[in-house]
Amino acid sequence: MSNQSKTVAVLGGGTMGSGIATVMARAGHTTILYDVVEQNLQRGIDTVHGFFDRSVKLGKLDADAGEAAKGRVVGSTDLRDLAPSDVVVEAVFEDLGLKKDLFAQLDEIVSDTTLLHTNTSTLSVTGIASGSRLPERVVGTHYCNPAPLMKLVEVADGRHTGSWAHHATVDFLSGLGKTSVITQDRPGFIVNRFLIPWENSCIAALEAGVATKEGIDAAVLGSIGHPMGPFRLLDIVGMDIHQQVATRLYEQLRDPRFFPPPMVERMVAAGDLGRKTGRGFYDYDDTRLFGS
Protein backbone atom coordinates (compact mmCIF):
# COMPACT_ATOMS: atom_id res chain seq x y z
CA MET A 1 0.00 0.00 0.00
CA SER A 2 1.49 3.35 -1.05
CA ASN A 3 1.78 6.14 1.47
CA GLN A 4 -0.01 8.73 -0.66
CA SER A 5 -3.02 10.50 0.85
CA LYS A 6 -5.89 8.13 1.52
CA THR A 7 -9.37 8.22 2.98
CA VAL A 8 -9.33 6.66 6.42
CA ALA A 9 -12.40 6.05 8.56
CA VAL A 10 -12.15 5.68 12.33
CA LEU A 11 -15.07 4.07 14.16
CA GLY A 12 -15.60 5.43 17.67
CA GLY A 13 -15.29 8.98 18.99
CA GLY A 14 -13.82 8.04 22.38
CA THR A 15 -10.29 8.26 23.71
CA MET A 16 -8.72 5.81 21.27
CA GLY A 17 -10.87 6.76 18.29
CA SER A 18 -10.16 10.47 18.56
CA GLY A 19 -6.47 9.76 19.14
CA ILE A 20 -6.23 7.53 16.07
CA ALA A 21 -8.15 10.09 13.99
CA THR A 22 -5.59 12.69 15.07
CA VAL A 23 -2.80 10.42 13.84
CA MET A 24 -4.48 9.97 10.46
CA ALA A 25 -5.15 13.65 9.90
CA ARG A 26 -1.63 14.61 10.96
CA ALA A 27 -0.25 12.15 8.38
CA GLY A 28 -2.19 13.90 5.61
CA HIS A 29 -5.10 11.50 5.21
CA THR A 30 -8.72 12.53 4.75
CA THR A 31 -10.23 11.27 7.99
CA ILE A 32 -13.84 10.33 8.67
CA LEU A 33 -14.60 9.99 12.37
CA TYR A 34 -17.73 7.93 12.95
CA ASP A 35 -19.82 7.48 16.06
CA VAL A 36 -23.44 6.47 16.39
CA VAL A 37 -24.00 9.12 19.10
CA GLU A 38 -23.80 12.73 17.89
CA GLN A 39 -22.57 14.02 21.25
CA ASN A 40 -19.72 11.49 21.33
CA LEU A 41 -18.82 12.35 17.76
CA GLN A 42 -18.63 16.07 18.48
CA ARG A 43 -16.54 15.45 21.58
CA GLY A 44 -14.16 13.36 19.48
CA ILE A 45 -13.81 16.03 16.81
CA ASP A 46 -13.24 18.66 19.50
CA THR A 47 -10.47 16.48 20.93
CA VAL A 48 -8.79 16.20 17.53
CA HIS A 49 -9.04 19.94 16.92
CA GLY A 50 -7.78 20.65 20.43
CA PHE A 51 -4.68 18.58 19.83
CA PHE A 52 -3.78 20.51 16.69
CA ASP A 53 -4.56 23.88 18.31
CA ARG A 54 -2.29 22.98 21.19
CA SER A 55 0.45 21.82 18.81
CA VAL A 56 0.33 25.22 17.12
CA LYS A 57 0.40 27.03 20.46
CA LEU A 58 3.47 25.04 21.54
CA GLY A 59 5.26 25.76 18.27
CA LYS A 60 5.26 22.11 17.15
CA LEU A 61 3.09 22.92 14.14
CA ASP A 62 2.67 26.11 12.16
CA ALA A 63 -0.75 27.72 12.03
CA ASP A 64 -1.46 26.85 8.39
CA ALA A 65 -0.53 23.21 8.90
CA GLY A 66 -2.73 23.06 11.99
CA GLU A 67 -5.73 24.43 10.13
CA ALA A 68 -5.09 22.07 7.22
CA ALA A 69 -4.97 19.07 9.57
CA LYS A 70 -8.24 20.10 11.22
CA GLY A 71 -9.79 20.53 7.78
CA ARG A 72 -8.98 16.94 6.89
CA VAL A 73 -11.29 15.64 9.65
CA VAL A 74 -15.01 15.20 9.04
CA GLY A 75 -17.58 13.52 11.25
CA SER A 76 -20.50 11.24 10.52
CA THR A 77 -23.16 9.22 12.32
CA ASP A 78 -24.08 7.41 9.09
CA LEU A 79 -22.01 4.31 8.31
CA ARG A 80 -22.77 4.73 4.62
CA ASP A 81 -20.56 7.81 4.54
CA LEU A 82 -17.57 5.50 4.97
CA ALA A 83 -17.98 4.12 1.43
CA PRO A 84 -14.87 5.83 -0.06
CA SER A 85 -12.55 4.57 2.69
CA ASP A 86 -9.26 2.90 1.79
CA VAL A 87 -8.71 1.90 5.42
CA VAL A 88 -11.21 1.53 8.27
CA VAL A 89 -9.94 1.47 11.86
CA GLU A 90 -12.47 0.14 14.35
CA ALA A 91 -12.03 1.53 17.88
CA VAL A 92 -15.45 1.01 19.46
CA PHE A 93 -16.43 -0.55 22.80
CA GLU A 94 -14.84 -3.96 23.47
CA ASP A 95 -17.87 -6.03 22.58
CA LEU A 96 -17.34 -8.93 20.18
CA GLY A 97 -20.89 -8.91 18.84
CA LEU A 98 -20.80 -5.17 18.16
CA LYS A 99 -17.49 -5.37 16.32
CA LYS A 100 -18.56 -8.34 14.22
CA ASP A 101 -21.81 -6.60 13.31
CA LEU A 102 -19.98 -3.44 12.24
CA PHE A 103 -17.63 -5.41 10.00
CA ALA A 104 -20.59 -7.26 8.47
CA GLN A 105 -22.25 -3.92 7.71
CA LEU A 106 -19.03 -2.51 6.28
CA ASP A 107 -18.82 -5.42 3.84
CA GLU A 108 -21.90 -3.99 2.11
CA ILE A 109 -20.56 -0.40 2.10
CA VAL A 110 -16.81 -0.25 1.45
CA SER A 111 -14.77 -1.71 -1.40
CA ASP A 112 -13.63 -5.32 -1.18
CA THR A 113 -10.04 -4.02 -1.22
CA THR A 114 -10.53 -1.77 1.81
CA LEU A 115 -8.38 -2.78 4.77
CA LEU A 116 -10.33 -3.40 7.97
CA HIS A 117 -8.32 -2.79 11.16
CA THR A 118 -9.47 -3.49 14.69
CA ASN A 119 -7.88 -1.70 17.64
CA THR A 120 -8.90 -4.43 20.08
CA SER A 121 -6.40 -5.68 22.64
CA THR A 122 -8.62 -8.02 24.64
CA LEU A 123 -10.74 -9.78 22.01
CA SER A 124 -9.76 -12.28 19.35
CA VAL A 125 -8.91 -10.74 15.98
CA THR A 126 -10.04 -14.01 14.43
CA GLY A 127 -13.38 -13.74 16.22
CA ILE A 128 -13.90 -10.15 15.09
CA ALA A 129 -12.88 -11.00 11.51
CA SER A 130 -15.49 -13.75 11.42
CA GLY A 131 -18.11 -11.03 11.11
CA SER A 132 -16.76 -10.15 7.66
CA ARG A 133 -17.29 -12.21 4.54
CA LEU A 134 -13.68 -11.28 3.69
CA PRO A 135 -11.74 -12.11 6.87
CA GLU A 136 -8.50 -12.09 4.90
CA ARG A 137 -8.55 -8.27 4.88
CA VAL A 138 -8.98 -7.90 8.67
CA VAL A 139 -5.89 -7.09 10.77
CA GLY A 140 -5.49 -6.25 14.45
CA THR A 141 -3.74 -2.90 14.98
CA HIS A 142 -3.51 -1.96 18.64
CA TYR A 143 -2.34 1.65 19.03
CA CYS A 144 -0.63 2.44 22.32
CA ASN A 145 -2.39 5.17 24.30
CA PRO A 146 -2.20 8.14 23.82
CA ALA A 147 -2.10 7.32 20.12
CA PRO A 148 -0.87 10.74 18.86
CA LEU A 149 2.15 10.61 21.19
CA MET A 150 3.12 6.93 21.24
CA LYS A 151 4.86 5.39 18.23
CA LEU A 152 4.18 1.73 18.93
CA VAL A 153 1.40 -0.24 17.24
CA GLU A 154 0.92 -3.96 17.88
CA VAL A 155 -0.02 -5.84 14.71
CA ALA A 156 -1.87 -9.15 15.08
CA ASP A 157 -3.15 -11.27 12.22
CA GLY A 158 -6.31 -13.28 12.53
CA ARG A 159 -6.34 -16.93 11.53
CA HIS A 160 -7.41 -16.03 7.98
CA THR A 161 -5.62 -12.68 7.53
CA GLY A 162 -4.00 -12.56 4.09
CA SER A 163 -0.30 -11.86 3.74
CA TRP A 164 -1.16 -8.98 1.40
CA ALA A 165 -3.29 -7.35 4.12
CA HIS A 166 -0.57 -7.84 6.73
CA HIS A 167 2.14 -6.27 4.57
CA ALA A 168 -0.14 -3.44 3.42
CA THR A 169 -0.95 -2.71 7.06
CA VAL A 170 2.69 -2.56 8.15
CA ASP A 171 3.47 -0.26 5.19
CA PHE A 172 0.54 1.97 6.07
CA LEU A 173 1.60 2.22 9.71
CA SER A 174 5.14 3.08 8.65
CA GLY A 175 3.71 5.97 6.62
CA LEU A 176 2.08 7.23 9.81
CA GLY A 177 5.47 7.32 11.52
CA LYS A 178 4.54 4.32 13.66
CA THR A 179 6.69 1.37 14.69
CA SER A 180 5.01 -2.00 14.21
CA VAL A 181 5.57 -4.92 16.56
CA ILE A 182 4.19 -8.24 15.36
CA THR A 183 2.33 -10.30 17.95
CA GLN A 184 0.13 -13.36 18.00
CA ASP A 185 -3.65 -13.18 18.30
CA ARG A 186 -3.67 -13.71 22.07
CA PRO A 187 -5.52 -11.83 24.87
CA GLY A 188 -3.68 -8.63 25.74
CA PHE A 189 -1.11 -9.08 22.96
CA ILE A 190 2.25 -7.90 24.37
CA VAL A 191 1.66 -4.49 25.96
CA ASN A 192 -1.49 -5.09 28.02
CA ARG A 193 -0.21 -8.52 29.04
CA PHE A 194 2.43 -6.66 31.05
CA LEU A 195 0.86 -3.23 31.53
CA ILE A 196 -2.46 -4.15 33.17
CA PRO A 197 -0.95 -6.19 36.04
CA TRP A 198 1.63 -3.44 36.61
CA GLU A 199 -1.03 -0.72 36.71
CA ASN A 200 -3.12 -2.85 39.07
CA SER A 201 -0.11 -3.26 41.38
CA CYS A 202 0.43 0.52 41.40
CA ILE A 203 -3.23 1.10 42.29
CA ALA A 204 -3.05 -1.57 45.00
CA ALA A 205 0.09 0.07 46.43
CA LEU A 206 -1.69 3.43 46.55
CA GLU A 207 -4.75 1.86 48.17
CA ALA A 208 -2.53 0.16 50.77
CA GLY A 209 -0.90 3.46 51.67
CA VAL A 210 2.59 2.50 50.47
CA ALA A 211 3.05 5.99 49.00
CA THR A 212 1.07 8.87 47.54
CA LYS A 213 0.08 8.98 43.88
CA GLU A 214 2.62 11.75 43.39
CA GLY A 215 5.31 9.64 45.05
CA ILE A 216 4.60 6.56 42.94
CA ASP A 217 4.49 8.60 39.72
CA ALA A 218 7.78 10.29 40.64
CA ALA A 219 9.41 6.96 41.48
CA VAL A 220 8.43 5.52 38.10
CA LEU A 221 9.69 8.58 36.24
CA GLY A 222 12.93 8.71 38.17
CA SER A 223 13.83 5.03 38.18
CA ILE A 224 12.24 3.23 35.24
CA GLY A 225 12.33 6.18 32.86
CA HIS A 226 8.72 5.99 31.69
CA PRO A 227 7.50 9.17 29.96
CA MET A 228 4.70 9.52 32.52
CA GLY A 229 3.70 7.94 35.81
CA PRO A 230 1.04 5.22 36.07
CA PHE A 231 -1.62 7.50 37.54
CA ARG A 232 -1.18 10.22 34.91
CA LEU A 233 -1.43 7.50 32.27
CA LEU A 234 -4.52 5.96 33.85
CA ASP A 235 -6.16 9.38 33.91
CA ILE A 236 -5.66 9.63 30.15
CA VAL A 237 -6.82 6.08 29.46
CA GLY A 238 -9.86 6.43 31.74
CA MET A 239 -10.67 4.29 34.75
CA ASP A 240 -13.73 2.87 33.02
CA ILE A 241 -11.56 1.66 30.14
CA HIS A 242 -8.96 0.23 32.51
CA GLN A 243 -11.70 -1.63 34.39
CA GLN A 244 -13.14 -3.06 31.17
CA VAL A 245 -9.78 -4.17 29.78
CA ALA A 246 -8.55 -5.62 33.08
CA THR A 247 -11.79 -7.52 33.69
CA ARG A 248 -11.91 -8.98 30.18
CA LEU A 249 -8.31 -10.17 30.43
CA TYR A 250 -9.00 -11.70 33.83
CA GLU A 251 -12.05 -13.52 32.44
CA GLN A 252 -9.95 -15.01 29.64
CA LEU A 253 -6.69 -15.71 31.48
CA ARG A 254 -7.97 -16.33 35.04
CA ASP A 255 -4.80 -14.77 36.39
CA PRO A 256 -5.58 -12.75 39.57
CA ARG A 257 -2.98 -10.14 38.60
CA PHE A 258 -5.42 -8.88 35.96
CA PHE A 259 -8.37 -8.40 38.33
CA PRO A 260 -8.80 -4.65 39.08
CA PRO A 261 -8.31 -3.59 42.73
CA PRO A 262 -11.37 -2.36 44.70
CA MET A 263 -10.34 1.30 44.26
CA VAL A 264 -11.05 0.99 40.52
CA GLU A 265 -14.71 0.08 41.09
CA ARG A 266 -15.15 2.92 43.59
CA MET A 267 -13.66 5.50 41.22
CA VAL A 268 -15.80 4.33 38.31
CA ALA A 269 -18.93 4.40 40.49
CA ALA A 270 -18.10 7.95 41.57
CA GLY A 271 -17.56 9.08 37.98
CA ASP A 272 -13.90 9.88 38.68
CA LEU A 273 -12.77 8.49 35.34
CA GLY A 274 -9.77 10.71 34.70
CA ARG A 275 -9.01 13.69 32.53
CA LYS A 276 -12.16 13.33 30.42
CA THR A 277 -14.36 13.93 33.48
CA GLY A 278 -12.07 16.50 35.09
CA ARG A 279 -11.14 14.25 37.99
CA GLY A 280 -9.46 10.89 38.40
CA PHE A 281 -6.34 10.35 40.45
CA TYR A 282 -5.66 14.06 39.79
CA ASP A 283 -7.96 17.04 39.19
CA TYR A 284 -8.01 18.79 35.79
CA ASP A 285 -9.26 22.18 34.68
CA ASP A 286 -8.39 21.20 31.10
CA THR A 287 -10.31 18.03 30.18
CA ARG A 288 -8.69 17.63 26.76
CA LEU A 289 -7.17 14.16 26.66
CA PHE A 290 -3.83 15.40 25.42
CA GLY A 291 -3.64 18.65 27.39
CA SER A 292 -0.87 19.50 29.86
Q: What is the pLDDT of residue 292?
A: 39
Residue among 119, 192, 200, 242 flagged as catalytic: 192
192-277 has the same fold as 7-183: no
Instruction: Let me know if 38 is a catalytic residue.
Output: no
What DSSP character marks residue 94?
Answer: S
Catalytic residue among 117, 142, 166, 242: 142
Confirm whether 142 is a catalytic residue.
Answer: yes
CATH code for 7-183?
3.40.50.720
pTM value is 0.92
pLDDT at 145: 86
Catalytic residue among 154, 166, 180, 200: 154
Of the candidates 156, 114, 152, the residue with the CA atom closest to the CA atom of residue 133: 114
* 152-157: strand order across its sheet: 73-76, 30-34, 7-11, 87-90, 115-118, 138-143, 152-157, 179-183
Residues of the chain with pLDDT under 70: 1-3, 288-292
CB-CB contact of 126 with 158 (8 Å): yes
pLDDT per position as a tens digit, 100-147:
999 999 999 999 999 999 999 899 999 999 999 999 999 999 999 889
Measured CA to CA in angstroms, residue 32 lies from 5, 40, 64 at distances of 13, 14, 21
Q: pLDDT of 246-268, one tens digit each? A: 999 999 999 999 999 999 999 99
* Spans of all domains in the chain: 7-183, 192-277
**Which of 40, 55, 119, 121 is flagged as catalytic?**
121
119 is catalytic: no
In whole angstroms, give the CA distance from residue 220 to residue 236: 17
In CATH, the number for domain 192-277 is: 1.10.1040.10
Active site residue 154: yes
In this prediction, residue 31 carries a pLDDT of 98
Contact 249, 257 (CB under 8 A): no
